[in-house]
Amino acid sequence: MNRSITSHSRYCLLYNLGLMPYIDALEWQRSLLQERIKNPNLEDVLILLEHPPVYTLGQGATPEFLKFDLDNNTYSVYIVERGGEVTYHCPGQLVGYPILNLQRYRQDLHWYLRQLEEVLIRALARYGLEGERITGFTGVWVQGRKVAAIGIKVSRWITMHGFALNVCPDMTGFERIVPCGISDKPVGCLAELIPGITCDEVRANIAQSFAEVFDVELVTADPHGNLPTIKV
């Protein structure tokens, strides 16, 4: 699928997927990034999915934030190229991986992080929840609890990795780490405030907020490689 964008429209392919092993999504992101470094005219991409239980550490992450032995454990753990400390992914957490060419937007990483936060804040507002930023930190909080983590990697102004929103996950996995290296601010999820909420219903709100914030037209893409057909 190598349909190039035109100079008149800014499209972003939306892959709205289910549960995918972390390593598969990671290799897919790396492939998409390299393709766009070679051909910057390729469309931007937004991947929305969930992962089986997995811990990930960013470059330079602090092992002391793990409450288990990194070299002797039964958990799935990956050290990856994103920024940030250790985090946890599991079903019930909606993960978004934007593969964007920031030369189309703004070549400013701080701006990009704030835009990702804005996507999440707008999506939360659709449920009457006030998402908040905390000065000096990256992510989104609701009522003092961190509900969304953000970690990115940018190469040649092409982005990968992204955000993770705790919708209705099993929160016990967070007990084995100091999430994002922040020991004095608890993590939370939307289900604590909106019982019965699911990732499936949140996906549409995230997609709509993403389209608004980045001023793109989302086009639903076929994960099997066929040309996109459904506009969102």
Active-site positions read 180
CA distance 171 to 151: 20
Nearest partner of 203 among 12, 13, 18, 43, judged by Cα: 18
Dihedral in degrees, nearest 10, Cα atoms 66, 192, 196, 15 = -50
Q: Which long-range contacts (CB under 8 A, 24 or more apart) does 32-40 make?
A: 32/99, 32/160, 33/99, 33/155, 33/158, 33/159, 33/160, 35/2, 36/99, 36/101, 36/158, 37/155, 37/156, 37/158, 39/2, 39/4, 40/101, 40/103, 40/158
Q: Hey, which bits of 41-169 come out as E strands? A: 44-50, 54-57, 77-79, 87-89, 93-99, 140-142, 145-155, 158-166
